[in-house]
């Protein structure tokens, strides 16, 4: 596992060069890749130029966004799908093989079965293209009960349900974006995580939760930095992921107003220090 920075996840707007500098200077080992910016830089210079930016910074590539609006209208979906082979080929050439997407926990338009069938139908062609280029795709489940409250139809919001959806896609390269926040709020257990195989975990988000609030009452965009409150058992979770053999990015996504209000360098440093504490607690 390596400590990975997503600038947008902590409220920072930065281009690739700025992001690499922030990651390096604050102690991160990795950074998520903006594939569209990488493509522009490759066209203006070369693919090797992009590779050199990362190697000179000594920063690993975390994950990349595949850029297909798979929940949208047919026209948007197929337009994105047509561009995916080029994106996937570039990401592979750069050496970044982990990509992710979010699966909504409820719907007002589709029953559970309709949503399941729709998701499989839309995700399978994406996964097939990604597989051709060596990529894995992590599906993120949304755990908080408050995120599905008021919706007409529930959908897959737990780790087990998302594993089922991954299997239903059936391409062999689909697993989880495992977010400690969503694991906690959907009331999964550490034993559930121990039962995973390393191929089930494509990417990891790490967060803590506000203290004194029941998991069912937690609000999705009100979170804490890793190890800030100790509500989520991050030490045990990181040790389990290590035992599984997970070697990918671990990315904070705290949605913290305090962090978002900081200057970029300070925000990155505070976030990196929270990860350092998790690593120390877990003996990593």
Q: Tens of pLDDT along 161-180?
A: 999 999 999 999 999 999 99
pLDDT of residue 2: 98
Per the prediction, the chain carries an average pLDDT of 98
pLDDT band of 13, cuts 50, 70, 90: very high
How large is the average pLDDT for residues 19-36?
98
Give the per-residue pLDDT at 18: 98
How sure is the predictor about 126, in pLDDT bands with cuts at 50, 70 and 90? very high
- The structure tokens listed for 132 are 């051709």
Question: Percentage of the chain surpassing pLDDT 90?
Answer: 98
Angle in degrees, 0-180, between the axes of helices 16-26 and 47-57, rounded to the nearest 10:
20
Those residues whose C-beta lies under 8 Å from the C-beta of residue 196, and which sit 6 or more positions away, are: 176, 244
**pLDDT score of 139:** 99
pLDDT at position 135: 99
Neighbours of 43 (CB within 10 A): 9
pLDDT value, residue 66: 98
User: Which residues form the domain of 49?
Assistant: 2-282
b or e along 46-78 (b: 16 or more beta carbons within 10 Å of the residue's beta carbon)?
eeeebbebbeebebbbbbbebebebbeeeeebe
pLDDT at res. 130: 99
Note whether 68 and 84 are within 8 A (CB): yes
Question: What is the per-residue pLDDT for 82?
Answer: 98
pLDDT at 147: 97
Q: How confident is the model at residue 245 (pLDDT cuts 50, 70, 90)?
A: very high
For residues 224 and 230, what is the distance between their CA atoms, to the nearest angstrom? 10
What's the pLDDT at 114?
Answer: 99
pLDDT of residue 166: 99
Quote the number of domains for the chain: 1
**Which long-range contacts does 123-126 make (Cβ < 8 Å, 24+ apart)?**
123/70, 123/165, 123/169, 123/174, 124/169, 124/170, 124/171, 125/81, 126/66, 126/68, 126/70, 126/81, 126/84
- Which pLDDT belongs to residue 261? 92
CATH number at residue 57: 3.20.20.150
Which of 26, 3, 2 shows the shortest CA–CA distance to 14? 26
Which pLDDT score, from 0 to 100, does residue 119 have? 99
| Contact status, residue 41 vs residue 19, Cβ threshold 8 Å | no
Mean pLDDT, rounded, for 189-197: 98
């Amino acid at each position: 596992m390596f400590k990975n920075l997503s600038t947008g996840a902590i409220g920072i707007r930065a281009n690739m060069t700025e992001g690499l500098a922030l990651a390096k200077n604050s102690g991160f080992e990795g950074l998520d890749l903006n594939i569209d910016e990488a493509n522009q830089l490759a066209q203006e210079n070369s693919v090797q130029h992009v590779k050199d930016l990362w190697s000179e910074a000594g920063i690993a590539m975390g994950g990349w966004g595949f850029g297909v609006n798979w929940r949208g209208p047919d026209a948007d979906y197929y337009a994105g799908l047509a561009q995916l082979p080029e994106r996937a080929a570039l990401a592979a050439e750069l050496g970044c093989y982990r990509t992710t997407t979010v699966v909504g926990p409820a719907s007002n338009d589709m029953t559970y079965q309709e949503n399941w069938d729709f998701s499989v139908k839309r995700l399978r062609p994406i996964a097939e293209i990604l597989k051709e280029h060596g990529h894995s795709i992590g599906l993120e489940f949304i755990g908080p009960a408050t995120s599905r409250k008021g919706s007409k139809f529930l959908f897959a919001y737990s780790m087990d349900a998302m594993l089922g959806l991954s299997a239903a896609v059936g391409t062999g390269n689909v697993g989880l974006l495992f977010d400690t926040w969503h694991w906690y709020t959907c009331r999964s257990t550490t034993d559930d995580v121990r039962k995973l195989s390393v191929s089930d975990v494509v990417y990891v988000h790490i967060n803590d939760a506000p203290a004194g609030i029941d998991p069912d009452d937690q609000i999705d965009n009100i979170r804490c930095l890793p190890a800030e409150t100790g509500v989520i058992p991050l030490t045990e979770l990181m040790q389990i992921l290590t035992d599984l053999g997970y070697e990918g990015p671990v990315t904070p996504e705290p949605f913290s107003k305090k962090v978002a209000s900081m200057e970029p360098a300070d925000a990155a440093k505070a976030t990196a220090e929270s990860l350092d504490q998790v690593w120390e607690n877990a003996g990593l």
